[in-house]
């Protein structure tokens, strides 16, 4: 075979892999240049496949971060399909990530994919968990069952899985009434000078507040509370009942600890239970996530980070099976 033929054969062999992964190259001469963010989506209800695309575009276009965006992919069609629970190609990109964002729900990934997430955590690099990532995994078999949201096995420090151990909480319940009581973000008064909340005075999302067990683990710092509203509009008033007495945290920082070769590895996680695609219509919500990326990658958080929408962003409503069908990563 000629060298040229072998090269063409090589390109053909890797084309399906590249087609399943979305890359946004960072704009030169921006603060994030030289840093890579991996954004991993996979939930059936809150359109994370839309949110991670827009956040990746904002981080790359306005702030210079190289962004790799991953999706739940139907292996038969190559299409983005959040109903597929056991396939997120491209997780090996985590090997080169400076920070990773997960927006997942009840994923049952095979060992060969979970291994990349496990290795990433053992590096102690920062984690951002969004909404249903408190119950990101429901691993039925294999090496990584301890990541499951309801794990109660022999690994005592992994009780209730990735959500509780890494992010600070697992799935408990809806606190606001789902689909009827939206959320307004309220900055914790003692944290009003924290870099992550800089410029985030106006945060609203149609998703409801999640219930948590209070207080959060002792290595957690609540930054933003969620006021449960009377309705689904940003102008609605907070409910006057026990749901807001006290208000639940909807965004917090937490240290996480894992073992690697018998040694304790420490990293930092930022968790936000607000963050659906519809929530991302709020400028304050978008800025909170951008600020968190800056903060976790040891960059100075801008005074008023640019979070203007890049391209077209028309988020679909939350709900099971309501994702846009027939899309492949290359379409984005």
Closest CA to 208 of 188, 184, 242, 186: 184
| Inter-residue contact 213 to 134 (CB < 8 Å) | no
Can you give the pLDDT at residue 291? 98
Mean pLDDT of the chain: 93
For residue 8, pLDDT beyond 50: no
What is the rounded (10 degree) CA torsion for 81, 145, 115, 256? 100
**Contacts for 310 with CB less than 8 Å, ≥ 6 apart:** 54, 57, 58, 61, 62
Query: Per CATH, is 15-174+249-331 categorized as 3.40.50?
Result: yes
For residue 231, pLDDT beyond 70: yes
Can you give the pLDDT at residue 19? 73
| pTM for the structure as a whole | 0.93
d(CA 313, CA 249): 28
Q: Mind listing the pLDDT tens digit for each residue in 68-119?
A: 999 999 999 999 999 999 999 999 999 999 999 999 999 999 999 999 999 9
**Contacts for 9 with CB less than 8 Å, ≥ 6 apart:** 1
**Contacts for 44 with CB less than 8 Å, ≥ 6 apart:** 82, 83, 105, 320, 321, 323
Model confidence band, residue 10 (pLDDT cutoffs 50, 70, 90): very low
């Amino acid at each position: 075979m000629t060298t040229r033929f072998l090269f063409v054969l090589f390109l053909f062999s890797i084309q399906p892999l590249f087609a399943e992964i979305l890359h946004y190259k960072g704009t030169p001469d921006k603060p994030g240049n030289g840093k890579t963010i991996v954004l991993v989506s996979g939930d059936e209800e809150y359109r994370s496949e839309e949110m991670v695309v827009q956040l990746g575009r904002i981080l790359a276009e306005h702030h210079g971060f190289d962004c790799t965006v991953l999706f739940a992919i139907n292996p038969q069609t190559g299409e983005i399909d959040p109903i597929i629970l056991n396939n997120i190609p491209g997780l090996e990109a985590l090997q080169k990530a400076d920070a990773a964002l997960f927006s997942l729900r009840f994923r049952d990934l095979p060992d060969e994919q979970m291994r990349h997430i496990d290795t990433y955590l053992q590096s102690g690099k920062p984690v951002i968990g969004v909404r249903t990532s408190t119950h990101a995994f429901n691993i039925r078999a294999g090496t990584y069952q301890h990541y499951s949201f309801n794990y109660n096995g022999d690994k005592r420090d992994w009780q209730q899985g990735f959500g509780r151990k890494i992010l600070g909480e697992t799935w408990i319940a809806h606190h606001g009434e789902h689909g009827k009581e939206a959320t307004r973000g309220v900055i914790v008064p003692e944290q009003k000078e924290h870099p992550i909340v800089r410029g985030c005075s106006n945060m609203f999302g149609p998703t409801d507040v999640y219930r948590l067990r209070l207080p959060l683990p002792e290595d957690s710092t609540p930054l933003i509370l969620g006021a449960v509203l009377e309705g689904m509009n940003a102008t609605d008033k907070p409910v006057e009942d026990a749901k807001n007495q006290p208000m639940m945290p909807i965004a917090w920082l937490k240290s996480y600890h894992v073992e690697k070769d018998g040694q304790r590895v420490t990293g930092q996680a930022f968790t936000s239970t607000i963050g659906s695609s519809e929530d991302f219509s709020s400028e304050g919500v978008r800025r909170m996530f951008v600020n968190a990326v800056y903060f976790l990658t040891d960059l100075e958080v801008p005074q008023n980070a640019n979070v203007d929408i890049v391209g077209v962003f028309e988020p679909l409503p939350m709900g099971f099976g309501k994702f846009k069908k027939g899309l492949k990563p290359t379409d984005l």
